[in-house]
Every structure is written in structure tokens, then in C-alpha cells.
Structure 1
Amino acid sequence: MRKYAISDSQLISQYKNGNEEAFSTLVNRHKKKIFTTIYLIVKDQYLAEDLMQDTFVKVVNTVKSGRYNEEGKFLPWVSRIAHNLAIDHFRKAKRYPTIVMEDGSNVFNTLEFSEVSIESKQIQQDTHALLRDLIKELPDAQREVLMMRHYMHMSFQEIADATDVSINTALGRMRYALINLRKKMDKKNIAYDQNLYPR
């Protein structure tokens, strides 16, 4: 770990006391790492830069409102904010995932028909909304890997890098996410039969 003449905690204290330069030092010290954290998820330089700005705005607001209490853990805290903003960006974009269960069946038939009846479109939208709610109920680590894989189309290597875990851990989380999702779908009686939702 790199040793600095002045620690992050000291810089935060100085910033709280009105030293704006102290915050600039913090940003310059960590912006490369924060940018990388975001870029690994969104894979778009301009979007990553925007989200990095949003991250530091959130940091400023939290510190200035007196709600910052992560003493000695500034970088992990900021990385978490950046990570969550990147994930939220995809959640708000409302991209529909193609979730393939372990038996190879699709949660949704991803074929788009040019003439879909209003009724079936409504059913599809309702089911997508229900699925998003079920995904929200998953444990954080499982929800995260599921979203990265199916909403963001990231490879397991990219997911492992972005979440700082091994590929085996990422694969394990994905497996449990699908098992849990299937249980929830069974309870709600959502079909994932491969005849209904062909690959």
C-alpha cells in the first residue's frame, strides 16, 4: 500500500475545516482508481467520466453534511459509491435482460415481433417489472453479478475484475442467483419453460 506524507483522513479533516485544496489532493490521488472501477462496468470512457464526477459530487455532499464517518477507509468508501452509481445507471436504463436458467431455458423469449398485441405487450411489461422486483430481493452480491452478466453483458472475467473476486466466486454467485431467482419465480408462478421461452 502506498504511503503518503498526509493521510486521506487528515485531508478529509482539512477539507471539513474549509481547505478546498485538500479535496483536490484527494481527487487527484484516487481518480484513476475510481475511473477504472466505473469503466470496468460501463465500458464507455465518457460515461465513466460523467459517473466519476457524480461520485465525487456525492462524496462532497456526504462530507459537507457531516455524514461521512468511514475514518481510514476513504478509498473503499468512494469505490463503493462509484460502483453503485455505475450499477444504478443500468438499472435506470431499464434494459431487459436475457436470463438463461441452468437448464438452458430463457426467462423471456427475446424475439421481438413486429405485430405484438397490446395485451401481450402489457403482459410482457408486467412480467419484466415483476422480474426486476424479484432481482432486487436477491442478496447484494448475487444481484450484482446477475445484473452485470445479463443487463450489461459482461464476461465472467470482467465481472471478477470489476468486483475484485476470483472467477470461481463470480460463477458461484451467478449460480446461486439463478437458483434463488428460480425459487422466487416458482412461488410467483412465472413460467420459464423452454417451450414458452425458447433459446
Structure 2
Amino acid sequence: MQHEIISDAILVSRYIKGDETALETLINRHKQKIYSFIYSKVYDKDIAEDIFQDTFIKVIRTLKKGNYNEEGKFLPWVMRISHNLVIDHFRKSNRMPKFDNAGEFNIFSVLNDTSLNAEGSIIKDQVEKDVRRLVDELPADQKEVLLMRIYDDLSFKEISDKTGVSINTALGRMRYALINLRKIIDKHNIVLTN
């Protein structure tokens, strides 16, 4: 008979008390979810591996220093660390994130990928207002494409026809708008967590 599953919180406290195998169990338990999340942002196995390693280096340092807040849930906390490292990666490399213009674009995918919980839904309206303010900080050409795409739900072909630029230019502006929006969000320290 299998022994019962030990909770993340217990494993964390065991690791803090010096049980190295507890961390291994935690990493194995959440590895797939965290790695998939990172890969879905960077689309590159090597970079995803690096960010995954860095995430756990940061987790270990924080736990060793005793700075982990027991109140928090372990997985969302680790996901936030990896999310911040992904943002750092894009900032440092100044590379455009891959942007899938076929899929539905939702402003919350820029802010965070965790689904909103009940409290989150309450602040959703406020955040959308804040986001509108942030969008106003974008250069005019990027702002125009972003608003047409998100708020008017136009396709890139329609945006191209309306603005008189090629579809590629419209896509490029959208990509830059997203990158800049991430930077602005980061600057204002806006975080939506579940």
C-alpha cells in the first residue's frame, strides 16, 4: 500500500530543518507544471532549462535564509518566481517573446497566467482600469494596434487595412506593445496572483 502523500508545507518545513530529500520530492512533484509554464513563454528548451534551474536556485536560497512565508502556497510561490525570471530573461536579452496571434488575446495573459480566484475577480475591474492607464503610456502606433486588437477585437488583416500598414508591421507593433506593457507592468509592480 502506498504511503499517504505528504503536503508541500510539511516538505518545505522538513527541508528548512535540513532534510535535503524533502526538496527533491517537491521538485519532482511540481517539475512538469513549472517547466511547461516556462517553456510556454520562451519556446526554447535550453532557455527553459536555465530558467527552471534558476527558479530552484532562488527557491533554495529563500528557504535557506528562512524568508519563505508559510502562509503562501508553495506552487503559486514558485510559479511567481519563475514568471519573474522569464520577464528578466526578456528584459536582458531584449528579444521579442513569441506572440501567437492566432489564439485569443486576453489582457490577463500579459499580467499573469494564473487563473483569477474569487478575490481576483473583484479586483479584475480595477485592474482593467489600471491597464487602460498603462496602455496610455505606450507609443501611439503601438497603443492603436493594441486597442484595436483587444478592445475592438479586430484581426491583424483588419488592423492592417484600417491603419494602412502591412500585416507584418501591425504584428510587430503588437509585439512591441506587449513587451513594453510587460515593462510598464513590471515598473508599477502590478501582480495578479491566485
Q: TM-score range by the shorter chain?
A: 0.5 to 0.7
Q: Specify the SS of the correspondent of 1:68.
A: coil
RMSD: 3.5
- How far did 1:176 drift? 5.4
Map residues 58-73 of structure 1 onto 2, 5 A cutoff: 58-73=58-73
- Tell me: CA distance 1:50–1:157, structure 2 relative to 1, closer, same or farther (3 Å): farther
Find the counterpart in structure 2 of residue 22 from structure 1. Answer: 22
- How far did 1:173 drift? 8.4
Whole-angstrom distance in 2 between the partners of 1:16 and 1:163:
29
Give the AA of the match of 2:91. R
Whole-angstrom distance in 1 between the partners of 2:31 and 2:105:
20
Q: Which runs of 5+ in 2 are unaligned?
A: 117-124, 141-162, 164-168, 171-194
Map residues 143-162 of structure 1 onto 2, 5 A cutoff: 151-155=97-101, 157=104
Indicate the larger mover: 12-21 or 65-74. 65-74
- Tell me: CA distance 1:5–1:151, structure 2 relative to 1, closer, same or farther (3 Å): closer
TM-score, normalised with respect to structure 1:
0.53
Indicate the larger mover: 23-32 or 70-79. 70-79
For the pair shown, the structure with the greater C-alpha radius of gyration is: 1
Q: Deviations over 1:18-76 (max 9, x none)?
A: 10000000000001110011011101112111110110010000000111114350000
- Tell me: CA distance 1:180–1:60, structure 2 relative to 1, closer, same or farther (3 Å): same
- How far did 1:181 drift? 2.5
Task: Give the total of aligned pairs.
Answer: 128
Whole-angstrom distance in 2 between the partners of 1:181 and 1:158:
18
Contact 1:90 1:152 in 2 (8 A): no
Contact 1:70 1:77 in 2 (8 A): no
Whole-angstrom distance in 2 between the partners of 1:152 and 1:163:
15
Whole-angstrom distance in 2 between the partners of 1:69 and 1:32:
24
Contact 1:90 1:151 in 2 (8 A): yes
TM-score, normalised with respect to structure 2:
0.54
- How far did 1:16 drift? 0.8
Find the counterpart in structure 2 of residue 79 from structure 1. Answer: 79
Pick from 97, 110, 113 the counterpart of residue 163 of structure 1: 113
Map residues 35-184 of structure 1 onto 2, 5 A cutoff: 35-95=35-95, 151-155=97-101, 157=104, 163-164=113-114, 177-182=134-139
Whole-angstrom distance in 2 between the partners of 1:76 and 1:82:
10
Whole-angstrom distance in 1 between the partners of 2:19 and 2:7:
15
